[in-house]
Structure 1
Amino acid sequence: MDVAEVFAGGREVAGADLAGMALTDVLPEGPLVFRGCDLTGADLTEASLAETLFEGCVLDRADFRRADLDGARFAGGGGTGMRFGDAELIDAVFTDVDLSGADFANTLLTDVAFTGCRLVGAKLSGCRGTGYTISGSNLMLADLLGCGFRGQEIDGVRFDEANLAGCDFTKAVLTGCRLIRARLVDARFAGADLRGADLGELDDGDLRRLRGAVISRAQAAALVADRGLTVLD
């Protein structure tokens, strides 16, 4: 497809092969719709994509750096290695999207929602803005250095082997979550409710980092058992 013909029919494109195309300068004004398009390696740097819908699109290595994605919606699809550095994503929504290895470094994330997403190995450290919510998502091996989850209700999230150093989980409630072998250096858990989380095996250093958190009797018994002690009623 000739790049000049991409939007000849309007602001909606369906099933188009846009892989590797430089699209920023050919986008029409106003919210756009991409349905089932192949945007592998597409260049959308500095693009105006506010309120745009990406539905079931292939987005491997798509470049959204410095783009305006306020209110954008990503539903299904996705890919590995997407780049969002310095982009603006106020009120953006990601639902059932593969964001493996995505780079959100220095991205403005304010009231962004990730639901049912695969964020394995994604980089969310160094984000700006007031933050985001995550539910039903896989963040295994993700870099979340210094991210804030204060007071959030976090449901069904895998943080296995993720870098949670310096994260703020103060008064957060974690339900159906996993923190197995997560890096917890300097993380804050004061007042956090971890009774619904799988903590895995914790060394003494990790236990100290969970100081102030609430855990269940069963979790406490398992932690004691890991240290060769038996708890009897």
Structure 2
Amino acid sequence: MVAKPTRAAKTTGAARKAAGGRPAGDRVAAARRPEVRLPPLVPYAGGLEADGDFDGVEFLAADLTGQSGPGARFMDCALTDCALDGATLGRARFLDSVLTRVRGVGTELGGATLRDVEVVDARLGGTQLHGAVLERVVVRGGKIDYLNLRQARLADVVFEGCVLAEPDFGGATLTRVEFRDCVLRRADLTAATLGDVDLRGAGELDIAKGFDRLAGAVLSTAQLLDLAPALAAHLGVRVID
């Protein structure tokens, strides 16, 4: 006589089938992407202002070099082809906005909030986002060097088709963060906390520090093999052929 499957077994099988045949423990929570739909925008020809309130405007090819706008709020805005060298935007809030082909070195965004934001083809260096909050953000294309995200909180963030050179995630919290078709070079994960961080799509994955913080991340088998020498060195394991 063949025993009939129990109700629990049936439920588990159904759940596994719904998940594409993978056990529940193999699933990775996907990042929720922003759905930015900008209204008709009004061209803005002015500069940044401390605690400024920018609503439904477009900064087009604006030179914001060295300007100061700490605490400013950008709601339903577009920043397109803007220069942000040395701009001060600490504690600024970018909500339901799109930043396209922005460029600059040393942009100060410490403590800023980016929520439902798309960053497209940016060329940035030394951007300061320490202590910032990023929620439902997509960074697509472009190249960002020496990105400072120390003590930042990232939730539902996707890095897609971009190059991140020496990003600093020290002490940051990353939840549902995906790296897709991008380069992650010399990343610092010291004291970071990761949860459902999907690194499998990174075309190049190079961890400089913080190997002990990879719990909560998902790697491919090939990536694990590539990281094996660095992991062994971190653990003090000698590999002798």
**Would you call these one fold, judging by a TM-score over 0.5?**
yes
Task: Name the stretch that deviates more: 180-189 or 117-126.
Answer: 180-189
Asked if the contact 1:166–1:188 (Cα under 8 Å) also holds between the matched residues in 2, the reply is no
Higher share in helix: 2
Query: What pairs up with 1:164-175 in 2 under 5 angstroms?
Result: 164-167=189-192, 168=194, 170=196, 172-175=198-201
**How big is each residue's C-alpha offset from its partner over 1:128-172, in whole Å with a ceiling of 9 and x where there is no partner?**
363522112222111012445555442122222221224426562
1:186 partner amino acid? D
More strand per residue: 2
Matches within 5 A, 1:57-72: 57-72=82-97
1:128 matched residue in structure 2: 153
What whole-Å deviation, never above 9, does each CA across 1:84-132 have from its counterpart, x for those lacking one? 1122211111111122210111112111111113221010121136352
C-alpha spacing 1:109/1:135, structure 2 compared with 1 (3 Å) = same
Match of 1:54 in 2: 79
* Equivalent pair of 1:170/1:188 in contact (CA under 8 Å): no
1:180 matched to 2:206: yes
Post-superposition Cα deviations, 1:212-232, rounded to whole Å, max 9, x if no partner, equal xxxxxxxxxxxxxx9564xxx
Question: What residue number does 1:12 align with?
Answer: 43
* Aligned equivalents of 2:74, 2:61: Cα separation in 1: 17
Residue identity (%): 19
CA contact (8 A) 1:150 1:172 kept: no
Residue matched to 2:23: none
Aligned-pair CA distance for 1:56: 0.8
Bigger CA drift: 96-105 or 140-149?
A: 140-149
Q: Equivalent of 1:193, from 214, 219, 229?
A: 219
Contact 1:22 1:43 in 2 (8 A): yes
Give the alignment's Cα RMSD to 1 decimal.
3.1
5+ residue gaps, structure 1, are 1-9, 210-225
Q: How many residues align?
A: 198
The correspondence of residues 75-94 of structure 1 with structure 2, limited to 5 A, is 75-94=100-119
2:141 aligned with 1:116, yes or no? yes
Task: Give the drift of 1:29.
Answer: 5.3
Q: Does 1:154 align with 2:179?
A: yes
Q: Contact conserved, 1:131 with 1:148, CA < 8 A, in 2?
A: no
Cα distance change, pair 169–184 in 1 and its aligned pair in 2 (3 A): farther
Higher RCO by CA contacts (8 Å cutoff, separation 6 or greater): 2
1:221 corresponds in structure 2 to: none
TM-score of the superposed pair, with normalisation by structure 1: 0.71
Structure 2 CA distance for aligned equivalents of residues 31 and 145 of structure 1:
34
TM-score of the superposed pair, with normalisation by structure 2: 0.69
